[in-house]
């Protein structure tokens, strides 16, 4: 442990925290990532139950993740290419959406006029700069659509797709190219690391991604302390003095000039007294909204669809699902295929896991009529405050910096500057990168004062 010489304390070993540590250059040997959970990864993590490893929710790695995917390669994570495009389910039919936005013209769900309308709108928005988006957002993009687009376009297209790609440029919009982390074992001996695909190991899926990033961080000189919860960020004279944290019931204090917070931004006010922030900054923090998510995994004794990319189902309880064929990343009970899905309907959150699964299976019988006859096992996971709600006006809330008004206190995570990749792993990764660069820049001034 090198606590006597630490200069940067990063709170949270999710993708943003780990990337922040990895991307510090000069300060990396003087940095530590503190994670309250026993495992790293935050939402990009797996958990073990009765000897099987499950992922915390379905995660799609899109082709446009031009920062994260090359970085993962550097950290020796091999990704398996699954396929391109996304599938859209509506009124008993599957429609394929491909990489190019112009493929919408072939999107037969909508009539020709609607297709042209949405295409021109999407292209106009996508080609514009960020100020243009902001104006749309301020005026409430949803109500603008309400006025200008037909109900059919709104319900069937705007909601699931335009909303999620609004802030990306056309070449970044690969609607569903996705990759899956292979099961990889990391073997390390005398500075030599070997990664190889593994058939029967305890680790797989998302945990491969976060464990490889942790390993990369450590090899590059940073430390990662799990089971360490930060309770308070101590500020004196409007500057960070250090952090109070707790490890196995023992409280401790770490003196550091730089601290990065990566948890949900609404929790920042539990660690820092409000009085240190100007009013507008406090209001922004309080206005962020998060959505609870139910992640499901269903093991099946046969494949139930030929589609291998994500299936968007905006009018269903499970809004996005994907069928994954063996060898899947997660180490779940054996089966011929696995259906993973995400549901953001708050009304069923209070029900038991069995009740939730019954409701969702009933709903899934529409796109997959035979599903019920092929289920081997099911898994339900409720994740509180999991993702940011993309409500109208969200752009004016987003922070376009990773600095806070307190000297030495920084933010990384989807709400902070992330090159407009909101609510994605790519965004988390970029915010970590951007934050690291700012700290290095500020350290030049602060540490030589």
Site residues for ligand FAD per CB under 6 A? 11-17, 34-37, 42-44, 57-60, 229-230, 262-263, 293, 295, 342, 383, 386-387, 413-414, 423-426, 428
Report the distance separating Cα 82 and Cα 180, nearest Å: 7
Quote the tokens at residue 166. Answer: 């609004």
* Sign, CA torsion 365/371/373/375: negative
Which CB sits closer to ligand FAD, 57 or 367? 57
To ligand FAD, the closest distance from the beta carbon of 59 in angstroms equals: 4
Cα→Cα distances 395→45, 86, 99, 366, 382, Å: 28, 26, 25, 35, 27
Which CB sits closer to ligand FAD, 11 or 21? 11
β-pair type (52-55, 46-49)? antiparallel
Which CB sits closer to ligand FAD, 149 or 357? 357
Contacts of 301 (CB under 8 A, 6+ apart): 335, 336, 374, 375, 376
Q: Quick one: CA torsion of 221, 6, 268, 416, rounded to 10 degrees?
A: -50
> DSSP for 309-333?
S-EE-TTSSEEEEEEE-SS-SSBPS
To ligand FAD, the closest distance from the beta carbon of 22 in angstroms equals: 12
Which CB sits closer to ligand FAD, 220 or 381? 381
Q: What angle do CA 233, 34, 223 make, to 5 degrees?
A: 125
Which CB sits closer to ligand FAD, 60 or 161? 60
To ligand FAD, the closest distance from the beta carbon of 187 in angstroms equals: 25
To ligand FAD, the closest distance from the beta carbon of 310 in angstroms equals: 8
To ligand FAD, the closest distance from the beta carbon of 66 in angstroms equals: 13
Which CB sits closer to ligand FAD, 79 or 293? 293
CB distance 391 to 384 below 8 Å: no
Quote the tokens at residue 394. Answer: 């969200």
To ligand FAD, the closest distance from the beta carbon of 137 in angstroms equals: 20
To ligand FAD, the closest distance from the beta carbon of 206 in angstroms equals: 9
To ligand FAD, the closest distance from the beta carbon of 269 in angstroms equals: 12
Report the distance separating Cα 166 and Cα 257, nearest Å: 38
CB distance 214 to 17 below 8 Å: no
Which CB sits closer to ligand FAD, 19 or 304? 19
Cα→Cα distances 288→117, 139, 307, Å: 32, 18, 35
To ligand FAD, the closest distance from the beta carbon of 56 in angstroms equals: 7
Report the distance separating Cα 8 and Cα 242, nearest Å: 9
């Amino acid at each position: 442990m090198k606590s006597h010489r630490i200069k940067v304390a990063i709170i949270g070993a999710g993708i943003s925290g780990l990337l922040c540590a990895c991307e510090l250059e000069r300060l990396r040997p003087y940095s530590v990532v503190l994670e309250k959970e026993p495992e790293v990864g935050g939402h990009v993590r797996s958990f073990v139950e009765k000897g099987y490893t499950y992922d915390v929710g379905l995660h799609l790695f899109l082709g446009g993740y031009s920062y994260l995917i090359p970085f993962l390669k550097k950290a020796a994570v091999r990704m398996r290419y699954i396929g391109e495009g996304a599938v859209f389910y509506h009124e008993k039919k599957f429609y394929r959406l491909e990489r190019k936005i112009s493929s919408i013209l072939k999107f037969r769900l909508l009539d020709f006029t609607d297709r042209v309308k949405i295409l021109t709108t999407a292209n106009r928005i996508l080609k514009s700069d960020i100020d243009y988006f902001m104006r749309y957002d301020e005026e409430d993009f949803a109500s603008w659509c309400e006025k200008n687009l037909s109900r059919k376009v709104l319900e069937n297209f705007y909601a699931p797709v335009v909303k999620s790609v609004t802030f990306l440029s056309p070449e970044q919009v690969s609607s569903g190219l996705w990759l899956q982390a292979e099961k990889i074992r990391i073997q390390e001996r005398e500075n030599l690391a070997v990664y190889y695909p593994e058939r029967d190991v305890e680790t797989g899926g998302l945990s491969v991604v976060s464990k490889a990033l942790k390993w990369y961080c450590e090899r590059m000189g940073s430390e990662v302390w799990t089971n360490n919860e930060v309770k308070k960020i101590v500020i004196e004279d409007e500057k960070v003095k250090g952090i109070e944290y707790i490890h196995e019931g023992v409280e401790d204090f770490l003196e550091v000039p730089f601290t990065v917070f990566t948890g949900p931004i609404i929790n920042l006010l539990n660690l820092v007294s409000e009085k240190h922030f100007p009013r507008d900054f406090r209001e922004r923090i309080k206005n962020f909204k998060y959505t609870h998510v139910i992640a499901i995994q269903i093991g099946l004794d046969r494949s139930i669809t030929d589609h291998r990319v994500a299936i968007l189902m905006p009018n269903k309880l499970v809004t996005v699902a994907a069928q994954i064929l063996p060898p899947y990343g997660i180490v779940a009970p054996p089966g011929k295929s696995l259906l993973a899905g995400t549901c953001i309907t708050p009304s069923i959150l209070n029900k038991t896991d069995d009740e939730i699964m019954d409701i969702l299976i009933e709903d899934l019988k529409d796109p997959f009529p035979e599903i019920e006859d092929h289920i081997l096992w099911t898994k339900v996971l409720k994740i509180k405050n999991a993702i940011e709600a993309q409500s109208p006006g969200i752009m004016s809330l987003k922070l376009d910096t990773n600095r806070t008004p307190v000297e030495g206190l920084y933010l990384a995570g989807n709400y902070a500057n992330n090159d407009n990749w909101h609510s994605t792993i790519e965004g988390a990764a970029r915010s970590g990168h951007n934050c690291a660069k700012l700290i290095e820049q500020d350290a030049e001034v602060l540490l030589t004062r």
